[in-house]
Amino acid sequence: MPIAFERLELISEHACFGGVQRFYKHASSEIGLPMRFGLFLPPQALAGSQVPLLTFLAGLTCTEETFATKGGAQRMAAELGLALLSPDTSPRNTGVDSEDHHWDFGVGAGFYLDATQSPWSGHWCMESYLLKELLPAVLGEFRLVQERQGLFGHSMGGHGALTLALRHPGVFASVSAFAPICAPTQCPWGHKAFTGYLGQDESTWAAHDASLLMAAQTRAPYPEGILIDQGLADKFLQEQLHPEAFEAACAAASQPLTLRRHAGYDHGYYFIASFVADHLRHHAQTLRAA
């Protein structure tokens, strides 16, 4: 049986490049609380055609609105006929006293995994929320093509895109990332998140590290290629991101990777907006053939 939304509420909608940008709220059974998401439907979808779904996972401190308002992706999505889904980055208003004490842990910092440690395990179930609930419900509710899904993201969301694509083979046909956290077991952001959400046993962390997941592959999981863009003026590059680790893992697995390093670009949305059209074209090329 297709998964349906429970109490789906339209918050707002905005005409955009012949399509429509909408924001929704719904009751989430996986999270146990209301969740929000943004959805851009291109003109082809409004005219009745089934189109592919491309999901963007945002980074630390972001919401379901950040990519939709700052990413500048709708124009190219309308041209290519892609629906764009932008989930929120964590549960909110959970009742956990310390949920908003840190900008890089808790609210706005779900890391796209299922927490196993109290008190976070009660609501911080972002992986299950996305894979078991939100994506199936969006595909069914809006009549999108299940077999043609792409996944991309930025920073923490780039980590999410790479790890979820590797952890769930066959779900996504294409994957890309902007400045992803490529080796969270080797950086402060990852240590903080994994210790809090998964506990002190570091053997459990490897299942959520894109470089380690890729290194364990016996064949290329995405033979059409993975695209990553990284700014060289990114203040987080050296300490937090480690794209060279993912690059080495892809080489060892014979996974085609296009890792583009851009002088002068930082970690923000001006960087994303500069190259987002290339990412949409990357996904569209694969999704058309899926």
Cα torsion 54, 168, 290, 262: sign? positive
β-bridge mates for residue 154, sequence order: 178
Residue 42 is classified by DSSP as: -
DSSP calls for 91-102: --S---TTTTSB
**Helix and strand counts by DSSP (H, E) for the chain:** 10, 9
Instruction: Determine which helix (DSSP H) or strand (DSSP E) holds 288, and give its type and residue range.
Output: helix 269-289
Task: Answer whether 53's CB lies under 8 Å from 144's CB.
Answer: yes
DSSP calls for 239-259: III-HHHHHHHHHHTT--EEE
Residue 78 neighbours by CB under 8 Å, 6+ apart: 16, 17, 18, 19, 42, 43
Catalytically annotated residue among 28, 90, 155, 174: 155
What's the token pair of residue 274?
């500069």
Q: How far apart are CA 41 and CA 17, in angstroms?
A: 10
Burial code (b: 16+ CB inside 10 Å, e: under 16) for 3-12 equals bebeeeeeee
Task: Please indicate whether residue 155 is annotated as part of the active site.
Answer: yes
Residue 290, CA distances (Å) to 50, 56, 147, 153, 225 in order: 14, 19, 7, 20, 14
Task: Please indicate whether residue 267 is annotated as part of the active site.
Answer: yes
Task: Please indicate whether residue 279 is annotated as part of the active site.
Answer: no
Residue 254, CA distances (Å) to 152, 214, 244 in order: 21, 10, 15
What's the token pair of residue 33?
């609380």
Catalytically annotated residue among 154, 267, 279, 282: 267
Catalytically annotated residue among 234, 242, 279, 283: 234
Please list the active-site residues: 155, 234, 267
